[in-house]
Chains A and B, each alone.
Chain A
Amino acid sequence: MGYPHPSHPKETVVLSKYFGDAAARTHQGWVERGGYEGLKKALGMSPDAIIEELKASGLRGRGGAGFPTGLKWGFMPKGDGKPHYLCCNADESEPGTFKDREIMRWTPHALIEGCAVACHAIGAETCYVYIRGEFTDPWDVMEKAVAEAYAAGTVGANAMGSGKRIDIVLFRGAGAYICGEETALMNSLEGKRGNPRIKPPFPAAAGLFGMPTTINNVETLAAVPHILNRGAAWYKALCLGNPKSTGTKLFSVCGHVMKPGNFEVTMGYPMKDLIYEMAGGLRPGRTLKAVIPGGSSVPLMNREEAESALCDYEGIIEKGSMLGSAGFIVMDDSADIVYEVYRLAKFYAHESCAQCTQCREGTAWTTKILERILKGQGKQEDLGLLLELSEQMTGKTICVLSDSCAAPIVSGIQKFQSEFDAYLSRAKAPAPAGV
């Protein structure tokens, strides 16, 4: 449901059913609402059977990359004698995305349950939940919930009496967007700078502390118990668009809408309805200009693309962008695309880890060019330069941070060039960047 709003009739409420229901936060409350049934079932299943069930469900990673979850778990070695680790990526930092925050704030036990199931499936005894440092409320809620789960014997040395050890350890980030990148997160957990690592080796071979590791997003893990409870067939059937995108998904909608919030719909739901019906549409008298649908790291969609897109992995690619983490930044006709693109470039420049040359220097340089354009001091060749730099910032580095910086810039210029031209031709008054 679109917390803080009441559930919209067209939502398919699974993960968000108890958002806003404080009683669901407690262990007792969660059990009363059918919680931990999925874990109980999972502990009675073989890891392979769980993985098969997930593969059949079609669940794909909700953190942004959309990698099939069952397949990822299946990559973990078996019988290798090494400790395995699960990392839960709760470093939700993608501008426009605020869904994991609500899962942790309202249904912490859903996440703990998902983590415990995953631990069993991949042969891990420890799950580290990496929560971004700014999430003070979700931290407090999760901390209480974990303590309760230990006290109830749901997790710990003998999880639910299964004889299996499952430890859930919370870990607080300290202000670094890049730690949402899986290998950067592992470095951070190890007490290092949050620098992304070169792959290979992939985490399933050598991840956290050099051991086989699986890393999943909060929303992905929270969906797992539901799949075990209600079956892969049920989950797979939740599909309105492409059969490769199944289940429900939380879409964070923010920016220029009347009712920003998280809306849970079946994959393939029309973006138009999501924005205009569920999120309350735009402010009176305003029209839609652009949507950045995947959190900020994906190309902008113009009005036509946004209004015709279906909300699933393939549907948004078809309309020239990507689903990413499904945080929709909605801009109406009052938005200054040049400024917003500049603001995003500044974000990436601030968050670059400093490892790769193109990212370290490129994000800062593109920010300066955009700043100059906004000041009314841009040069005609600046747009070509931005496009050229963006090309060199794409597909050249260890992680995709600089690609993410380039995506809104390139699409902004391609789809809204007139707004750039207005600054360049001095037709528009300068808008000095910054406060």
Chain B
Amino acid sequence: MSAGHGVTHGGGEEHQPVFTGGALGQLEALYPKFPTRQACLLPALWIIQEERGWISPGAMAEVAVLLGLTPAYVRGVVTFYTMYHTHPVGRHFIQVCTTSPCHLCGSDEVVKALLKESGCGELGATSPDGRFTVIEVECLGACGFATPILVDNDFIESTSPERVPGILAGYR
């Protein structure tokens, strides 16, 4: 069950194993916490995304082997959850809440400011410098702190169009 060698998959791209060294240790530490290997899938996918920024087909195949699943099964799970990236994204991934409570408080303006300041131009696109990707997300669960945004793992409350340039400056 070792991650072993590179896995060639799908389009033929060579996949460098994620689960070696520290990442493998992290995953193995999870095993005793669950009665099944399969239950480690979501945490394992998080480890991949932390390591690589996204979850490639090769990584899905790798984790499938480790957890006794099939790549198709893993893909079905990955695509269910919106926080897993199945394509590479900008260095900083920005999620803006635009669900009703935030919309009432002006989230649309925050989105516009983010798209303009980041250079992304449109939702889902990555800025030309590869630095930012901005997406609209459903409720971030901080409706009292409209408009919350999530930059990578940094949860920023009560943003406004005026605060946007300052926030982005911190990631340049």
Contacts and interface: CB of A to CB of B under 8 A. Distances in A.
Contacts of A343: 98-100, 103
Contacts of A172: 42-43, 46
A136 B95 CA distance: 13
**Residue of A97, A135, A256, A343 with highest tally of chain B CB at under 10 A:** A343
Interface string A85-103: 0000000111111100100
Interface in A72-125: 83, 92-98, 101
Nearest to A5: B144
Interface stretch (B3-11, B18-26, B134-142, B162-170): B134-142
Contacts of A189: 39, 42
A60 B25 CA distance: 41
Interface size classification for chain B: 35 or more
Nearest to B77: A193
B103 A98 contact: no
**Residue of B41, B95, B108, B123 with highest tally of chain A CB at under 10 A:** B41
A351 B104 contact: no
Given A191-B67, A347-B139, A255 B105 contact: yes
Contact of A96 (B35, B84, B143): B143
A133 B83 contact: yes
A144 interface: no
A435 B108 contact: yes
B143 A97 contact: yes
B36 interface: yes
A134 B95 CA distance: 9
B2 interface: no
B154 interface: yes
A421 B83 CA distance: 38
A174 interface: yes
Contacts of A335: 104
A259 to B, nearest CB: 9
Contact of B77 (A133, A192, A260): A192
B143 A329 contact: yes
A134 B141 contact: yes
Interface in A192-241: 192-194, 209
Judged by DSSP, the binding face of B is mixed
Contact of B80 (A101, A133, A190, A193): A193
A92 B43 contact: no
Nearest to A2: B144
A255 B143 CA distance: 7
B62 to A, nearest CB: 15
B145 A98 contact: yes
Interface in B123-170: 123, 136-146, 150, 153-155
Interface in A225-269: 252-256, 260-262
A174 B101 contact: no
A137 interface: yes
Contact of B141 (A101, A292, A344): A101
B76 interface: yes
B45 interface: yes
A135 B141 contact: yes
A253 B81 CA distance: 28
A265 B36 CA distance: 42
A191 B40 contact: yes
A150 interface: no
A25 interface: no
Nearest to A133: B83
**Residue of A92, A134, A167, A189 with highest tally of chain B CB at under 10 A:** A134
B76 A296 contact: no
B84 A340 contact: no
A177 B139 contact: yes
Contacts of A350: 138
A193 B69 CA distance: 13
Contact of A194 (B43, B81, B83, B143): B81
Contacts of B145: 98, 260
The 10 nearest A-B residue pairs measured at CB:
A191-B41, A175-B83, A174-B81, A175-B82, A254-B143, A191-B38, A260-B144, A193-B80, A95-B139, A174-B83
Interface of A: 83, 92-98, 101, 132-137, 167, 169, 171-177, 188-194, 209, 252-256, 260-262, 292, 296, 327, 329, 331, 335, 339-340, 343-344, 347, 350-351, 353, 435
24 contacts: A93-B138, A95-B100, A95-B143, A101-B141, A133-B81, A135-B155, A136-B150, A174-B81, A191-B40, A191-B67, A191-B69, A192-B38, A209-B39, A252-B143, A254-B105, A254-B143, A255-B100, A255-B105, A255-B143, A327-B101, A340-B100, A343-B103, A347-B100, A435-B112
Interface of B: 33-36, 38-43, 45-46, 67, 69, 76-77, 80-84, 95, 98-101, 103-105, 108, 111-112, 123, 136-146, 150, 153-155
